[in-house]
Chains A and B, each alone.
Chain A
Amino acid sequence: DGGITQSPKYLFRKEGQNVTLSCEQNLNHDAMYWYRQDPGQGLRLIYYSQIVNDFQKGDIAEGYSVSREKKESFPLTVTSAQKNPTAFYLCASSIDRGNAEAFFGQGTRLTVV
């Protein structure tokens, strides 16, 4: 089945640790996105990538990093510089960077312990 797979579904991080969230798609989409969701704030864009080996910061990129070495993969690293990382993270992809709709993964819930 085609779609977007995020893993893990739940992730726990200790203070000062870096953690990496996985996002893989088999839809052959060029564009991929990472969003952070907090209660009452909707979705905020962290990073997006239009093509392989290229990505741009979104509205809240501080404390996060990404890579796009393969078309189908767009992992997100939450670094120790992110002071409030507890949130629900959603990965999405779309055919292109224009007006195409995005398809979403099921999300990763990250909790700092």
Chain B
Amino acid sequence: AQSVTQLDSHVSVSEGTPVLLRCNYSSSYSPSLFWYVQHPNKGLQLLLKYTSAATLVKGINGFEAEFKKSETSFHLTKPSAHMSDAAEYFCVVSERRAGTALIFGKGTTLSVSS
């Protein structure tokens, strides 16, 4: 069975400092992995996705994530936080077989202070 664990429920950083949001996954098959961002009372927007091509994935707004199979991790990073990055972030796993919906982590709230 597939599952995803976001290791921090809340991360606080200062503007201009690096961001690290941690995600571990469990999957019996070759997974696809995604990061989504949600601003308050809005839908979710795709930041980036991994689907078995390059293990380092670049996304929108300067975010990137590295797929590490040996560590079953897919951590999200950004070199320099911006105030507009304050939002909730979800790590998501999907297995490549029929009849599978996306499985979401519980989310990490990112706060950015000036």
A interface residue numbers (CB < 8 A to B): 4, 6, 31, 33, 35, 40-45, 48, 50, 56, 58, 88, 90, 92, 94, 97-107, 109
Contacts and interface: CB of A to CB of B under 8 A. Distances in A.
- Grouping DSSP codes into helix (H, G, I), strand (E, B) and loop, the A interface class, with mixed when no group exceeds half, is strand
A99 B41 contact: no
Contact of B100 (A41, A88, A97, A105): A97
Nearest to B45: A104
Interface stretch (B12-20, B60-68, B73-81, B104-112): B104-112
Nearest to B51: A99
Given A97-B100, A99-B95, A107 B42 contact: yes
A33 B31 CA distance: 19
* Residue in A6, A58, A99 whose Cβ sees the most chain B Cβ within 10 Å: A99
18 contacts: A4-B43, A6-B43, A31-B101, A35-B104, A41-B106, A42-B90, A45-B102, A92-B44, A97-B100, A98-B100, A99-B31, A99-B95, A100-B94, A101-B34, A101-B46, A102-B44, A106-B42, A107-B42
Interface string B46-69: 100101000000000000000000
Given A42-B106, A97-B100, A99-B32, A90 B95 contact: no
B94 A98 contact: yes
Contacts of B90: 42-43
Contact of B98 (A35, A92, A97, A107): A97
B99 A56 contact: yes
B43 A105 contact: yes
B26 interface: no
A107 B44 CA distance: 9
Given A56-B99, A103-B46, 16 more contacts: A35-B104, A40-B107, A42-B90, A45-B101, A48-B101, A50-B99, A88-B41, A90-B43, A92-B44, A98-B32, A98-B97, A104-B45, A106-B42, A107-B42, A107-B43, A109-B41
